[in-house]
Structure 1
Amino acid sequence: MARGRVKRSERGRGSEEEEEEDEDEREYEVGEVRDRIKSSRGSQFNLLTHELGLGAAASRKFSRETVINGIRDLFRGLVIHPDNRYYRAWKKFILLWALYSSFFTPLEFGFFRGLPENLFILDIIGQVAFLFDIVLQFLLAYRDTQTYRMVYKRTPIALRYLKSSFIVDFLGCLPWDIIYKVGGKKEEIRYLLWIRLSRVRKVTEFFQHMEKDIRINYMFTRIVKLIVVELYCTHTAACFFYYLATTLPSSEEGYTWIGSLKLGDYSYSNFREIDFWKRYLTSLYFAIVTMATV
């Protein structure tokens, strides 16, 4: 009899836990539906800014109760639901850093052998932000692809992230500029900067999400995506072309594409001493002309 009562009590506890998880899941699903069901009026740019959290709704004031409830939901059981409002705000913040890092990495590789102080501080701030994002990934619940139920247990969450992109994310956060200077300024170390381009997937995920959003015209999203891709490819090509010009010794720089360039009486023979923006715009022009004519 005692064993039967123990089994019944255990079953009762298990059912209560399942009911609590179902209630939490239903609450988040209802909240998600409410956020998604909005009027489709307005321009596509308004919808895009709303999705990025740049609209008027982003500047609304939160009451004391909503802030307390949000923090409580955020750290409930040290597991974060993907639809938590604070985590969604963090995703938009880290998306901007990912966009910046995606464009700055080719620039750093091509034009800088050792960052100046202002860019170095900005780079460290960015890496700290991505390190914090790695910590959040170990606490982020996910939906199982087979059962379609949310997984809140920390062990499966951690194993899932460790098996996916943890190593690449962690290597991208290392201060490669410091390692380059400490390691004797070996050129091979600088090649590891390209690991940070793995952050581009955050930008691609954003565009994939926008393409599935029925409130935004699909063609509009594709056009914006195409423009961003074209700008990024041209920017990367410009940085790569300039890097190729710097691989030769100083005595042979006059034979490179930029060292042999002359615009009237102006010569680029000592191009390393020219202003950064002039070098970058020249490289950008060369990349556009090369890709458009070859």
Structure 2
Amino acid sequence: VQAEIVHVLQLGSDILPQYKQEAPKTPPHIILHYCAFKTTWDWVILILTFYTAIMVPYNVSFKTKQNNIAWLVLDSVVDVIFLVDIVLNFHTTFVGPGGEVISDPKLIRMNYLKTWFVIDLLSCLPYDIINAFENVDEGISSLFSSLKVVRLLRLGRVARKLDHYLEYGAAVLVLLVCVFGLVAHWLACIWYSIGDYEVIDEVTNTIKTDSWLYQLALSIGTPYRYNTTGSGQWEGGPSKDSLYISSLYFTMTSLTTIGFGNIAPTTDGEKIFSVAMMMVGCK
């Protein structure tokens, strides 16, 4: 029973071959990729990767400035854990092309450098800390915010590790629900970004009354208003919580081809994106 539990919890199919039941002899600083510590660590990285996949698109699209100390500390801890993961990967065995467990330190380093090292390194850079400084140029801040999307490439590693669970029907169902929710979340962030980009014409400093953001603001009683005495900019509008919930609601109804029509695309950009989203949903 214990062996079955270990087999189920093992992330990935790269486990110890059945014909080799004894653990191979490894140098003291080398970690076996199927040991209990590495299995637990892989689950921690898996959870943090999903956290990153949710928060990074949200922070980029909603342009959240990381001034909240609690969130900044949390994101910094995640960055440190990803950095530790890089160090561990330089000292973790892997399965060779012939099914053998490779424990030679030089081969381990070369294999990691040729595969996931660059992506892992880019994913653990402290973009949020850089953006937290008030004197950072807006263009540089936007660049670092966009670079955070590189962290989503870690999902490639997650997909490779989770293929081990495709033999379990319940696990496949849970994975499909998670993937659907994640795709809907990403599309919701893009949907809001399109509306936020189009709702105000920066050239003429006028608001587009046909934008879905403007229509939503009117329907929930939080209209946009022009500040003529102060900043001379458009203010007001729905809160970010309402905007995200409305965006997620729209993408969910579009992907499931329900489409109630209370939130609908009106501008050309919104219609083009909606067509693309419906094509994704019909698959």
TM-score (norm 2): 0.70
Question: Max radius of gyration: which structure?
Answer: 1
Contact 2:165–2:171 (8 Å) recurs in 1: yes
Q: How many residues align?
A: 227
Secondary structure in 2 matching 1:259: helix
The answer for unaligned runs of 5 or more in structure 2 is 12-23, 226-234, 260-277, 279-283
Task: Choose the corresponding residue for 2:33, options 63, 82, 90.
Answer: 82
How far the C-alpha of 1:91 sits from its partner, in A, is 1.2
Q: 2:212 aligns with which of 257, 263, 269?
A: 257
Against the structure 1 CA distance between its residues 105 and 231, is the aligned structure 2 distance closer, same or farther, given a 3 Å change threshold?
Answer: same
Q: Identity percentage over the alignment?
A: 23
Which residue of structure 2 lines up, in the alignment, with residue 229 of structure 1? 179
Matched, 1:241 2:191: yes
Give runs of aligned pairs for residues 9-158 of structure 1, distance below 5 A: 35-37=2-4, 51=9, 76-115=27-66, 116-146=68-98, 148-158=99-109
Which residue does the alignment assign to 2:272?
A: none
> Cα RMSD between the aligned structures?
3.1
The correspondence for 2:147, drawn from 178, 187, 192, is 192
Cα distance 1:239–1:264, how it changes in 2: closer, same or farther (>3 A)? closer
The residue that corresponds to 1:162 in the other structure is: 113
1:243 is aligned with what amino acid?
S
1:190–1:265 CA distance, 2 compared to 1 (3 A): closer
For the residue of structure 2 that corresponds to 1:77, the secondary structure is coil
Amino acid at match of 2:215: S
Partners of 1:211 and 1:36 in 2: CA distance: 19
Please tell me the residue identity of whatever aligns with 1:90.
W
Q: Distance in 2 between matches of 1:128 and 1:95?
A: 15
Provide TM-score, normalisation by structure 1: 0.67
- Secondary structure at the counterpart of residue 59 of structure 2: helix
The 8 Å contact of residues 222 and 236 in structure 2, kept in 1 or not, is answered as: no
Distance 1:243 1:143, change over 3 A: same
Report the CA distance between 1:170 and its aligned residue. 0.5
Q: Partners of 1:85 and 1:280 in 2: how far apart?
A: 39
Query: Structure 1 residues 81, 253: closer, same or farther in 2, change over 3 A?
Result: farther
| 1:143-166 Cα deviation digits (max 9, x unpaired) | 2113x2211111110111011111
Change (3 A) 1:268 1:176: farther
Q: Give me the whole-angstrom Cα distance separating, in 2, the residues matched to 1:208 and 1:171.
A: 25
For each residue in 1:201-224, what CA deviation from the matched residue of structure 2 results, as whole angstroms up to 9, or x when unmatched?
343234312124xxx3xx322221
